[in-house]
């Protein structure tokens, strides 16, 4: 998208010289306050709105050179409240585009059933009408319908805004999974920065007047907002949210204070730690105790403090590790492997040091300083 401007006939400049390079097979999110031109931008991509100036290229070709019907067929479109046809059943809603493309009824219905499964809908809902589905289910139908003809591009305009936070999280997770499986190029509009940061490979923050404030990856956005507008828009806790993009794999774990429930008196005394983490015979965490409270060979679990939520280094972020440490009754986070067996513990202080080190590395990387 190269220096694209949309001026509506009444003079409103909805989008002002917007240039964006949308990467293939990833999710690009357009985010910003109400009226900043997100929907207009999205609709210029499928030519529901024609730009006043500038060019939009798809695979290097100016979209104005493609017949509109052809262009739209290569782009699934999902809107808020799904926009389903109320008098058609779910399966017929999903099969709409394949039928328009001349597919036989049976093949189109089979495709619809396959897509229902893909978006997490029970196929027993196929013969219902949209009003007989919950908002979240309708949104899933909307996604399935947009995917029906297997378009390479999906345009999504606030698709999950009308559902409650729990359903919304489920829909977001589902979209990330679908994207990973199908490798679609998705342009996603939202006014919710948390949704943008969660879903986006790249995030374009727009400001009033349809101007681009910043175009960056979520991690870059949170660590280096371009200006005060972006910083305000990101909200107060961006420091913590940024930790979601830092891995916990490099945390240094210690096992000195990890003891099995049948530990000897020498082992208990040898740790020298203020708190010991007691594990069961399989190595799973049972709870915390002070060494003086433990009787060798007879550690009764009902006297232990709860172990707290564990984290999995390599899978979980530093944000999760820090959260585990903050919630732990001892201030130490418990690290486990995929099977839930303790691999070590790490203190809040050590996590704090790892965060500082990661930030320092980030600053060096941004400055482009050679080691
Ligand atoms: N058909 C139109 N004619 C005139 N002005 C319009 C038209 N459509 C949109 N606008 C104006 O263009 C600006 C951008 O609108 P747009 O819908 O693209 O914003 P948005 O960021 O998607 O907003 P929201 O989050 O509220 O949906 C707004 O000021 C809007 O009032």
Q: How far does the centroid of ligand 1 lie from the alpha carbon of residue 130, in Å?
A: 28
Assess whether 147 and 272 both reside in one domain.
no
Residue 276 counted as domain residue: yes
Assess whether 48 and 174 both reside in one domain.
yes
Residue 362 counted as domain residue: no
Q: How far does the centroid of ligand 1 lie from the alpha carbon of residue 77, in Å?
A: 18
Which residue range(s) make up the domain with 320? 258-355
Residue 134 counted as domain residue: yes
Compute the distance between CA of residue 326 and CA of residue 318 in angstroms, rounded to an integer: 12
Compute the distance between CA of residue 105 and CA of residue 96 in angstroms, rounded to an integer: 10
CATH code: domain of residue 205: 3.40.50.300
- At how many degrees (to 10) do helices 135-147 and 165-182 cross? 20
Task: Work out how many domains the chain is built from and give that number.
Answer: 2
Comparison of pLDDT for 118 and 292, the residue scoring more: 118
Mean pLDDT, range 84-88, rounded to an integer: 94
Assess whether 292 and 145 both reside in one domain.
no
Q: Is the CB of 43 under 6 A from ligand 1?
A: no
CATH code: domain of residue 287: 3.10.580.10
Q: Is the CB of 190 under 6 A from ligand 1?
A: no
Assess whether 280 and 169 both reside in one domain.
no
Assess whether 86 and 124 both reside in one domain.
yes
Q: Is the CB of 310 under 6 A from ligand 1?
A: no
Residue 368 counted as domain residue: no
Of 206, 238, 270, which closes a domain?
238
Q: What is the mean pLDDT of the chain?
A: 90
Q: How confident is the model at residue 364 (pLDDT cuts 50, 70, 90)?
A: low
The predicted-structure confidence for 174-222, as pLDDT tens digits, reads as follows: 999 999 999 999 999 999 999 999 999 999 999 999 999 999 999 899 9
3-state SS string for 144-200: HHHHCCCCCEEEEECCCCCCCHHHHHHHHHHHHHHHHHHCCEEEEEECCHHHHHHHC
pLDDT for res 371: 34
Q: Is the CB of 37 under 6 A from ligand 1?
A: yes
Assess whether 100 and 174 both reside in one domain.
yes
Q: Is the CB of 319 under 6 A from ligand 1?
A: no
**Which ligand 1 atom is nearest residue 15's CA?**
14
Residue 92 counted as domain residue: yes
> Are the C-beta atoms of 13 and 209 separated by less than 8 Å?
yes
Q: Is the CB of 34 under 6 A from ligand 1?
A: yes
Q: How many CB atoms lie within 10 A of CB 60?
A: 5
Assess whether 221 and 343 both reside in one domain.
no
Assess whether 193 and 318 both reside in one domain.
no
Assess whether 74 and 166 both reside in one domain.
yes
- Name the nearest CA neighbour of 205 among 194, 193, 195: 193
Q: How far does the centroid of ligand 1 lie from the alpha carbon of residue 159, in Å?
A: 17
Q: How far does the centroid of ligand 1 lie from the alpha carbon of residue 205, in Å?
A: 16
The answer to whether the complex's ipTM is over 0.90 is yes
Mean pLDDT, range 276-287, rounded to an integer: 93
Q: How far does the centroid of ligand 1 lie from the alpha carbon of residue 33, in Å?
A: 11
Q: Is the CB of 248 under 6 A from ligand 1?
A: no
Assess whether 324 and 191 both reside in one domain.
no
Q: Is the CB of 14 under 6 A from ligand 1?
A: yes
Assess whether 196 and 336 both reside in one domain.
no
Residue 203 counted as domain residue: yes
Residue 367 counted as domain residue: no
Q: How far does the centroid of ligand 1 lie from the alpha carbon of residue 158, in Å?
A: 14
Does the pLDDT of residue 297 top 60, yes or no? no
pLDDT for res 300: 66
Assess whether 234 and 315 both reside in one domain.
no
Q: How confident is the model at residue 100 (pLDDT cuts 50, 70, 90)?
A: confident
Residue 324 counted as domain residue: yes
């Amino acid at each position: 998208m190269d220096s694209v401007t949309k001026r509506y006939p009444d003079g409103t400049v909805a989008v002002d010289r917007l240039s964006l390079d949308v990467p293939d097979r990833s999710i690009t999110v357009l985010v910003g306050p109400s009226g900043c031109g997100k929907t207009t931008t999205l609709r210029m991509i499928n030519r529901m709105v024609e730009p006043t100036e500038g060019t939009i290229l798809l695979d290097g070709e100016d979209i104005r050179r493609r017949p509109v019907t052809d262009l739209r067929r290569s782009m699934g479109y999902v809107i808020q409240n799904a926009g389903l046809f109320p008098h058609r059943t779910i399966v017929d809603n999903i099969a709409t585009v394949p039928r328009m493309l001349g597919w036989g009824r049976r093949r189109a219905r089979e495709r619809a059933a396959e897509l229902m499964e893909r978006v997490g809908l029970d196929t027993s809902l196929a013969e219902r009408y949209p009003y007989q589905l919950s908002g979240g289910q309708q949104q899933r139908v909307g996604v399935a319908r947009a995917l029906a003809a297997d378009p390479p591009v999906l345009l999504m305009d606030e698709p999950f805004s009308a559902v409650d936070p729990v359903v919304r999280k489920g829909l977001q997770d589902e979209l990330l999974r679908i994207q990973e499986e199908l490798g679609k190029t998705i342009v996603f509009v939202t006014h919710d920065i948390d949704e943008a940061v969660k879903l986006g490979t790249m995030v374009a923050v727009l400001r009033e007047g349809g101007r681009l404030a910043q175009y960056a990856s979520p991690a870059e956005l949170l660590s280096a907002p371009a200006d005060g507008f972006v910083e305000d828009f990101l909200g107060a806790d961006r420091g913590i949210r940024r930790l979601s993009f830092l891995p916990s794999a490099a945390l240094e774990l210690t096992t000195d204070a990890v003891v099995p429930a049948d530990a000897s008196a020498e082992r208990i005394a040898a740790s020298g730690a203020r708190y010991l983490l007691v594990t069961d015979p399989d190595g799973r965490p049972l709870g915390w105790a002070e060494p003086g409270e433990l009787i060798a060979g007879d550690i009764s679990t009902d006297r232990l403090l709860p172990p707290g939520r564990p984290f999995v280094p390599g899978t979980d972020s530093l944000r999760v590790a820090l959260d585990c440490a903050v919630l732990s009754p001892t201030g130490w986070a418990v690290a486990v492997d995929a099977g839930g067996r303790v691999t070590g513990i790490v203190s809040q202080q050590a996590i704090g040091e790892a965060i500082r080190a990661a930030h320092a590395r980030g600053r060096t990387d941004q400055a482009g300083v050679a080691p």
